[in-house]
Amino acid sequence: MSTKTRQRRTQTKERHTFTLSADNMEWIKARVRETGTSRSKVVDTILDRFRKAQRQRKMAEGYKALSRILKDTAQAGLPLQKKAVPDY
């Protein structure tokens, strides 16, 4: 068992009440039947996957922004590089 799995299992759980559409509840019940786990586990897994996907999207956006910054910085420094090393 990985450390990540172990950490996830030992996280504090909180009980909450939510109102969901009938369609969403039926979908959750179907996942419960398919996986043999609890509704809480199904919802927790769905939310974990959503959060990870959201974090990956944000990281990708950050990397794109960083690449633009680095490109702009390199282009701005090109004239200085040519002065310092004429054959560059």
On whether residue 50 sits in a domain, the answer given is yes
pTM for this entry: 0.60
Please give the tally of structural domains in the chain. Answer: 1
Q: What is the pLDDT of residue 57?
A: 92
On whether residue 79 sits in a domain, the answer given is yes
On whether residue 6 sits in a domain, the answer given is no
On whether residue 25 sits in a domain, the answer given is no
Per-residue pLDDT tens listing for the chain (88 residues): 566 655 566 688 899 999 999 999 999 999 999 999 999 999 999 999 999 999 999 999 998 889 988 888 888 887 877 777 777 5
**How many residues are present in the chain?**
88
On whether residue 15 sits in a domain, the answer given is no
Domain of 62 in residue numbering reads as 39-88
On whether residue 72 sits in a domain, the answer given is yes
On whether residue 65 sits in a domain, the answer given is yes
On whether residue 75 sits in a domain, the answer given is yes
39 within 8 A of 32, measured Cβ to Cβ: yes
Burial letters 51-70, b for 16+ CB under 10 A, else e: eeeeeeeeeeeeeeeeeeee
42 within 8 A of 35, measured Cβ to Cβ: yes
Q: What is the pLDDT of residue 45?
A: 95
